[in-house]
C-alpha cells in the first residue's frame, strides 16, 4: 500500500474515532491545550533547526503506535526510530524558521487533528536559503492530561528527499 493511501486511511480512522468515541464536543480548555501543543511542536521544530532536540522529544508521545512521515519521504513507526530521526535532523542544523499558517483544528476529547501549511525557510546542502511551503497534518492524543503528538505527515522537500540524497 502506498504512503498516500496510508495517510488517507490514518486521517479517516482518526476522524471516525473523533466522531464515534466522543459523545460531546471537546471543551474550550482542550481546544486551547491542543493549540498550545501545536505551537509547542513548531517552537520545538525551530529549535531542531539550531541543533536542539530535547523540546521536540517533549512534544511527542513516546508510544509504539506513533508515526512520522517527514519531508524526506520517510515513513517511521514507533517512538525509537522517530526520536532517532529528530536527532539526525537536529545534527544537520538546517537553520531558518518555519511557522504554521492557516491552521485548521478538529478536536475531540482524546484525539485531535490539525492541518496547516508549514511556511518559512531552511538552509540547503549548498548553504543557500531554501524557501519552504509544505502541507502538514498532525495528530495529537491526550495522555495523562497532556496533548502529545502521535503523528505528523508533510509534503516532500526536494532538498531533503531520500531520492535526491541517496
| Structure confidence at residue 134 as a pLDDT band (50, 70, 90) | very high
Residue 118 has pLDDT above 50, yes or no: yes
Please state the separation of Cα 6 from the chain's center in Å.
Answer: 16
How many CB atoms sit inside 10 A of residue 26's CB?
21
Cα separation, 27 vs 15, in Å, equals 17
Q: Which residues are CB-contacts of 47 (< 8 A; sequence separation ≥ 6)?
A: 53, 55, 56
Torsion of CA 162, 138, 92, 99, to 10 degrees: 120
Q: Return the SS3 of 2.
A: coil
User: Domain coordinates of the chain in residue numbers?
Assistant: 3-165
Residue 19, pLDDT above cutoff 50: no
Looking at the predicted structure, is the pLDDT value of residue 12 above 90? no
Q: What is the mean pLDDT of residues 129-152?
A: 97
Q: How far is CA 51 from CA 3, 38, 91, 112, 147, in A?
A: 28, 20, 6, 28, 24
Report whether CATH 3.30.9.10 matches the domain 3-165.
no
End-to-end alpha-carbon separation of the chain, Å?
Answer: 23
Overall average pLDDT of the 68-72 stretch: 94
> Does the pLDDT of residue 68 top 50, yes or no?
yes
pLDDT of 151 higher than 60: yes
Q: What is the 3-state secondary structure (H, E, C) of 124-166?
A: CCCCCEEEEEEEEEEEEEEECCEEEEEEEEECCCCCCCHHHHC
- pLDDT value, residue 125: 76
pLDDT given for residue 34 in this prediction: 98
From CA 65, how far away is CA 13, in angstroms rounded?
14
Strand order of the β-sheet with 111-123 is 76-77, 67-69, 146-154, 129-143, 111-123, 97-107
Amino acid 160: pLDDT? 74
Amino acid at each position: 500500500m502506498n504512503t498516500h493511501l496510508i495517510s488517507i486511511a490514518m486521517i479517516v480512522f482518526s476522524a471516525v474515532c473523533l466522531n464515534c468515541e466522543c459523545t460531546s464536543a471537546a471543551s474550550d480548555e482542550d481546544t486551547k491545550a491542543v493549540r498550545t501543543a501545536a505551537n509547542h511542536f513548531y517552537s520545538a521544530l525551530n529549535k531542531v533547526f539550531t541543533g536542539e532536540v530535547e523540546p521536540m522529544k517533549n512534544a511527542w508521545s513516546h508510544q509504539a503506535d506513533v508515526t512520522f512521515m517527514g519531508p524526506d519521504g520517510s515513513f517511521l513507526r514507533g517512538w525509537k526510530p522517530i526520536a532517532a530521526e529528530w536527532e539526525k535532523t537536529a545534527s544537520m542544523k538546517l537553520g531558518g524558521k518555519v511557522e504554521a499558517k492557516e491552521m485548521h483544528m478538529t478536536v475531540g476529547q482524546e484525539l485531535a487533528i490539525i492541518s496547516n501549511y508549514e511556511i518559512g525557510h531552511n538552509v540547503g546542502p549548498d548553504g543557500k536559503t531554501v524557501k519552504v511551503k509544505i502541507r502538514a497534518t498532525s495528530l495529537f492524543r491526550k495522555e495523562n492530561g497532556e496533548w502529545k503528538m502521535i503523528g505528523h505527515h508533510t509534503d516532500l522537500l526536494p532538498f531533503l528527499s531520500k531520492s535526491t540524497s541517496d
